[in-house]
A and B are shown apart, each in its own frame.
Chain A
Amino acid sequence: MTVQELIDSDMFEVVNEGSDTDRDISKVFCCDLLSIAMGKGIADAAWVTVMGNINTLAVMSLTDMACIILAEGARMDDPGMAKARQQGFTILRTDEPIFDAGLKIHERIQ
């Protein structure tokens, strides 16, 4: 499944569409500590997290993850939004818990 297909599935709300939506999603990655995500983040993963800040985006970029899904109703803060728009990062969100959101994506990419 590509990022665009995930957007089009309407499973999640689109916060920022992003500019690299043709890329494939390889896996789901769940983590809420940046220090761990930095070392263990998986390239081309859909990252499900509650951390809505600019540092999350830096780590996403560094580990080359495909997109971010903010779960549990989490929101991206203003500096994060500015960065997402500027850099073209895909950010989605949901009120669902992390596992549920991750599972939905996982089931679609099997």
Chain B
Amino acid sequence: MTPANIAGMAMIKGLQAVALTDHNTARNCPAFLKHCEAYGLIGLPGMELTTSEEVHVVCLFARLDKALAFDEYVHEHLIKVPNRKEYFGEQIIRDENDDPIGEEPYFLPNATDISFDDVYDLLKGFDGFMIPAHLDKTSTSLISNLGFVPPDSRFKCFELHKMENLHRLRKANPYLEKCKVICDSDAHYLENIHEAEFKLLVEEVTPEGIIEALGQGM
């Protein structure tokens, strides 16, 4: 998966908007957004943050500079363990020609020291939008790791791995009734990028418009 290939595959699949959300980094977003523009896609920069509880939270931004500023913050707070390529693969940063311009030496999906409770306010400071990830998964999800939605939560949108789990999850966690739900590829391989199945109604077909719509709740 390279920035160009992801954007290209998204276009082939007929998707309109695509977000790049690498684990704990947004450093491939500059190249990614250039390719989205070339393909006529709406590209959103972001990342999938790992909290100290090992809960995954998708973080989306309307602006690249904000995403990159958040990337710097997260990098400072990453619990640094050297990456072992033979187990976890390479962590390459690429430019708009898909040429490697850097490599991250520390294992990116590792936990940060940022607690789930702090994510909402932290992201607000970077104009970011939080979406607790794949709540229906049996690991690295808010529900699997904490067992419940913290009562003082403020997120307005959550992500499911499989939309068929929506009813069961909402029933077990009433907080989720007032949230918007999304289901996306979470693709770690090109072939897992979804067909254009799901629609989001937006006022404005821009990154801002998308984030605004996701933040509307139910």
Contacts and interface: CB of A to CB of B under 8 A. Distances in A.
B154 interface: no
A25 B200 CA distance: 53
A77 B139 CA distance: 10
Interface in B28-87: 50, 53-54, 79, 81, 84, 87
Contacts of B110: 34-35, 38
A53 B139 CA distance: 7
B111 A62 contact: no
B176 to A, nearest CB: 22
Nearest to B139: A53
B192 interface: no
Category for how many chain B residues contact A: 10 to 19
Interface in A20-68: 33-35, 38-39, 51-53, 55, 58, 61-62
Contacts of B139: 51-53, 55, 77
A71 B83 CA distance: 28
B129 interface: no
B87 A53 contact: no
A55 B109 CA distance: 11
B111 A58 contact: no
Interface string B70-113: 00000000010100100110000000000000000001001100
A-B interface, 3 closest residue pairs, ranked by CB to CB distance from nearest: A35-B111, A53-B139, A35-B110
Interface of B: 50, 53-54, 79, 81, 84, 87-88, 107, 110-111, 138-140
Interface of A: 33-35, 38-39, 51-53, 55, 58, 61-62, 77
6 contacts: A34-B110, A35-B79, A39-B81, A52-B138, A53-B138, A55-B139
